[in-house]
């Protein structure tokens, strides 16, 4: 089998490899992908550092052309790349193709942004002095990504880093190297100079740690667990390095008595269970007022009966498998915890067998949960959702905000008054009205507050805040 190698200083290298396994069918090896060392990582950082002076001064048209070519190729190959994604991560083929299209759109967006780089010229308070405010690239950016969006998250970090003139050392998650390899290959062939984008696949404890320990990385953008995020933060402070963290969520969706029942059920089923509940914006707490509670639970349970869990590539599958054995154990452990804590298992909770050996779990719904239970406070990252019954809107809002996290927060209501109040008072980076908490646009800011995120927002023009540093220049005329 071919080994998909690491790209360091413009050369494909690496002879050690690990298997990329399909979670829908653990007999299927998606490919062999290089397992980089600390030495490889150091070489990649040195290559990115050496490439920075020229790339940081590259013309905006060159950046535009490369980013646009990458966006165009990803779109042209959306079915093939979507299938690769579905095979390595386990989300369904339509979801995977949708994510691939989004990656393409992100490259197209930043291809446009490259042509819109601008500064400000303002008068000084001193006569005959001019002030210019510009944005410089940061330097070498370390990109560390998780497994749940194997193509979109790399895209939304790589595209702005290149657009604003930075060079990159990119380490994807161990479980999903294939899509990362594909987009690095596309960018390499699109004409990026040697060393501008380096790919080091491998273990977090080896490759990731070597990135954290390097004084030559000017900024690290990280999406992953809270524990690793803290390590990124501590190491970055030691090196006086900029960092940006996207971590967990425990996203609430409030359902009020006046909600349109269909809208509420569709939004809850989508954000709780699609993509196997493995989205950081997934709703895992459904906070439902008394008047609609029983009708909502009954309708949602009926809906869950229709959700087909099966092989990600099979037509008709709504929800694919859990990503791996470790995550499946986390999910089933939390299901046991929920039962012991006294929540009522209203639907699911069991492993399922399908034609192929994979990590299949029923969509699982707990009712009669309280917001103090561990299943309501800790991120599970699986298709496990709890319903919390509340008296009224005021209690619903307070419960929604009573969490260590603050990524996305949703409400289903037909009341303008409550929707407006919720938008203003939800303690979250993103608020959704009559929409799933998951599912965001590619051209506007993404991110959260409290324990979910740290640093400037990602995506859209707000991405410049992380990937650049501001310079104020004074000139005597």
Q: Is 45 in the site for ligand ADP (CB under 6 A)?
A: no
User: Which range, of 15-23, 171-179, 371-379, 453-461, touches ligand ADP by CB under 6 A?
Assistant: 171-179
**Nearest Cα to 396, choosing from 262, 264, 226, 248?**
264
C-beta closer to ligand ADP: residue 205 or 425? 205
**Residues, the chain:** 477
**Nearest Cα to 169, choosing from 190, 145, 147, 135?**
145
CA distance 149 to 135: 29
Whole-number CA gyration radius for the chain:
23
Size of the site for ligand ADP (CB under 6 A): 15
CA distance 363 to 252: 17
User: Which range, of 9-17, 57-65, 143-151, 355-363, touches ligand ADP by CB under 6 A?
Assistant: 143-151
User: Which range, of 16-24, 65-73, 141-149, 261-269, touches ligand ADP by CB under 6 A?
Assistant: 141-149
Q: Is 224 in the site for ligand ADP (CB under 6 A)?
A: yes
**Nearest Cα to 95, choosing from 304, 278, 223, 245?**
278
CA distance 438 to 436: 5
Q: Is 252 in the site for ligand ADP (CB under 6 A)?
A: no
- Which x/- pattern, by CB under 6 A, does the window 297-336 give for ligand ADP? ----------------------------------------
- Which x/- pattern, by CB under 6 A, does the window 174-213 give for ligand ADP? x-----------------------------xx--xx--x-
How remote is the C-alpha of 134 from its chain's centroid? 29
Work out how close the CB of 227 gets to ligand ADP at its nearest, in angstroms, rounded to a whole number. Answer: 6
Residues forming the active site: 246, 280
3-state helix, strand, coil in the chain (%, to 5): 40, 25, 35
Torsion sign, CA atoms 172, 177, 179, 184: positive
Q: Is 173 in the site for ligand ADP (CB under 6 A)?
A: yes
Work out how close the CB of 64 gets to ligand ADP at its nearest, in angstroms, rounded to a whole number. Answer: 29
Half-sphere exposure of 351 (CA within 13 A, CB side): 14
Q: Is 231 in the site for ligand ADP (CB under 6 A)?
A: yes
Binding site for ligand ADP (CB under 6 A): 144-146, 171, 173-174, 204-205, 208-209, 212, 224-225, 228, 231
């Amino acid at each position: 089998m071919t080994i998909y190698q690491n790209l360091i200083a413009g050369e494909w290298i690496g002879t050690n490899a690990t298997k990329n396994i399909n979670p829908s069918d653990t007999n299927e090896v998606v490919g062999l992908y290089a397992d980089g060392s600390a030495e490889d990582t150091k070489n990649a950082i040195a290559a990115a550092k050496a490439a920075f002076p020229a790339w940081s001064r590259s013309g905006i048209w060159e950046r535009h052309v490369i980013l646009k070519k990458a966006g165009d190729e990803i779109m042209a190959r959306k079915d093939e790349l979507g299938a690769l994604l579905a095979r390595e991560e386990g989300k369904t083929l339509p979801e995977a193709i949708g994510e691939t299209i989004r990656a393409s759109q992100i490259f197209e967006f930043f291809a446009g942004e490259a042509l819109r780089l601008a500064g400000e010229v303002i008068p000084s308070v001193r006569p005959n002095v001019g002030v210019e405010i510009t944005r410089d690239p940061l330097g070498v950016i370390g990109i560390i990504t998780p497994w749940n969006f194997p193509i979109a998250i790399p895209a939304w970090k790589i595209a702005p880093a290149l657009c604003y003139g930075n060079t990159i050392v990119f380490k994807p998650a161990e479980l999903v190297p294939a899509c990362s390899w594909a987009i690095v290959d596309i960018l390499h062939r699109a004409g990026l100079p040697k060393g501008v984008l380096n790919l080091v696949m491998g273990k977090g404890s080896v490759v990731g740690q070597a990135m954290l320990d390097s004084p030559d990385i000017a900024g690290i953008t990280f999406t992953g667990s809270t524990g690793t995020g803290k390590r990124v933060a501590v190491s970055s402070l030691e090196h006086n390095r900029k960092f940006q963290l996207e971590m967990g969520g425990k996203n609430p969706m409030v359902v009020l008595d006046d909600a349109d029942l269909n809208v509420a059920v569709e939004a809850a089923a989508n954000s709780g269970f699609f993509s196997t509940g493995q989205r950081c914006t997934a709703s895992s707490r459904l906070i439902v007022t008394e008047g609609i509670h029983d009708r909502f639970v009954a309708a949602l349970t009926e809906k869950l009966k229709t959700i087909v869990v099966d092989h990600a590539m099979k037509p008709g599958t709504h929800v694919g498998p859990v990503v791996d054995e470790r995550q499946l154990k986390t999910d089933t452990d939390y299901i046991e915890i929920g039962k012991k804590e006294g929540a009522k298992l209203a639907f699911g909770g069991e492993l399922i067998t399908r034609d192929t050996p994979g990590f299949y779990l029923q969509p699982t719904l707990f009712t009669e949960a309280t917001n103090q239970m561990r299943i309501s406070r800790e991120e599970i990252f699986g298709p496990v959702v709890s319903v919390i019954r509340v008296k009224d809107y005021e209690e619903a809002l307070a419960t929604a905000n009573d969490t260590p996290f603050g990524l996305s927060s949703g409400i289903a209501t037909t009341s303008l008054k409550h929707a407006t109040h919720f938008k203003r008072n939800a303690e979250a980076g993103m608020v959704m009205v009559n929409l799933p908490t998951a599912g965001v646009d590619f051209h506007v800011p993404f991110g959260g507050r409290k324990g979910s995120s740290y640093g400037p927002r990602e995506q859209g023009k707000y991405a410049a805040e992380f990937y650049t540093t501001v310079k104020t220049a004074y000139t005597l005329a």
